[in-house]
Amino acid sequence: MASKAVEKRGRVGVDTVDPRDEPSAEWGWHGSFPKATRIAGWVCAIILLVMLYGNHHGWTENLWLIGLSLLMMFGLVLDMRKQRTAWRK
């Protein structure tokens, strides 16, 4: 006869977390906020571009703001592409 621990392990699917790896999975929700994370990323990239209108006079600050914003947008576009093609794998 199989013990209850073995039966419990047998029910673990692809989308669930093994409680031995993550003990908090037994007593609560264990996941992430993918949609909210993407929205926050776009908002932060836009805020970086809005910060161009400031009281600084040099171009060094502008280059950093533009570069970081473009880097964030590039990462978000890659994430959108990965999400769109995730069902193929």
pLDDT in tens, 49-69: 999 998 888 899 999 999 999
Low-confidence ranges of the chain (pLDDT < 50): 12
pLDDT at position 26 is: 61
| Residue whose pair of structure tokens reads 């794998």 in the numeric block | 89
Question: What size, in residues, is the chain?
Answer: 89
- Distance from chain centroid for Cα 48: 19
**Hey, what are 26's tokens?**
């037994």
* pTM for this model (two decimals): 0.62
